[in-house]
Amino acid sequence: MKMKIIMLGAPGAGKGTQAIMIAEKYGIPHVSTGDIFRANIKNNTPLGQEAKTYMDKGMLVPDELTVKILLDRVAKDDCKNGYVLDGFPRTIVQADVLKDALSKLGDRIDHAINVDVPDENIIKRMGGRRACLKCGATYHIEHVPPKKEGICDNCGEALVLRDDDKPETVQKRLSVYHEQTQPLIDYYGKEGILKNVDGTQDMNRVFEDICGILG
C-alpha cells in the first residue's frame, strides 16, 4: 500500500515528532525539506548549487526549485512505497506547484494530516521548553523536567528558554502560519484528503489516531 503523506499543523504542534513516528512504523522515509536542502548543498549537487546561490544572498529558494529538489528526493528507491513530507508545502502556491509536478508523473498525495492545536496551548507548550546550550539536551518544565530545576541532567549547565520559544516570538511565528499555511487546510479539504487529529492529547494518543486514519 502506497502512502504519500503531508503533515500540517502550527509550529510547536508536534507534527515533526509524529512524522518521524509514522516513518518508523510504516517503513517509509521522513522527508524534511530542511534536511534535503542541507544534503544537496553538502554534496554539491547541481540543485544544491542552484539553491545555495539564493540562500547566500539571504533570499528564499523559489518554489519551483524547492519542488525540483523534493521530487529528486522522492524519486529515490527508498520512497517507492511512499514518504512523509514535513515542512512542505507551506503555501497554496507551493501546494499547486507540487500537485502539478506530481500529476505529470501520474502521482498524487494520498493523505494530508493536520495536527490541530489551539494557539494558547502552543504558546504554553513552547514557553515551557528549556534547552542546554552546551550539550543540546532539551527539556520541558511540565512534561520532561530535569532532575534539578534549571540544570541539565547530562552536563550540569544552566538551562535556558531559547529566543525561538519566547511567547512573543511564538506569537509572531503563529501569525505567519495563520496567514500563509493555514489556508492549506482548506486546500486539502477540497482535495478530499484532509484528516484532522486532536494534537492536544498525549503524543502516543495522537499517534494512535493517525494510525487509525492510515490503517
pLDDT digits (tens, 9 = 90+) for 133-181: 999 899 999 889 999 999 999 999 999 999 888 999 999 989 988 998 8
The whole-number pLDDT of residue 164 equals: 86
Distance in angstroms (rounded) separating the CA atoms of residues 119 and 175: 10
> Could you say which of 52, 124, 166, 173 is catalytic?
173
Q: What angle do CA 27, 67, 12 make, to 5 degrees?
A: 65
Distance in angstroms (rounded) separating the CA atoms of residues 88 and 77: 20
Whether residue 15 lies in the annotated active site: yes
CB neighbour burial string for 87-117, b if at least 16 within 10 angstroms, e if fewer: bbbbbeebbebbbeebeeeeeebebbbbbbb
Q: Name which of 210, 203, 208 is nearest 12 in CA terms.
A: 203
Q: State the pLDDT confidence band at 87, using cuts at 50, 70 and 90.
A: confident
> Could you say which of 68, 73, 125, 129 is catalytic?
129
The residue-averaged pLDDT of 193-211 equals 96
> Could you say which of 148, 162, 172, 205 is catalytic?
162
In the chain, what percentage of residues exceed pLDDT 90? Answer: 77
The whole-number pLDDT of residue 2 equals: 74
The whole-number pLDDT of residue 143 equals: 85
Q: State the pLDDT confidence band at 1, using cuts at 50, 70 and 90.
A: low
Highest mean pLDDT, choosing among 26-40, 47-61, 169-183, 196-210: 196-210
The whole-number pLDDT of residue 76 equals: 92
> Could you say which of 4, 15, 68, 125 is catalytic?
15
Domain ranges of the chain: 3-118+171-214
In the chain, what percentage of residues exceed pLDDT 70? Answer: 100
| Cell numbers found for residue 42 | 553538502
Residue 75's identity, in one-letter code, is A
- Domain 3-118+171-214: which CATH class? alpha beta
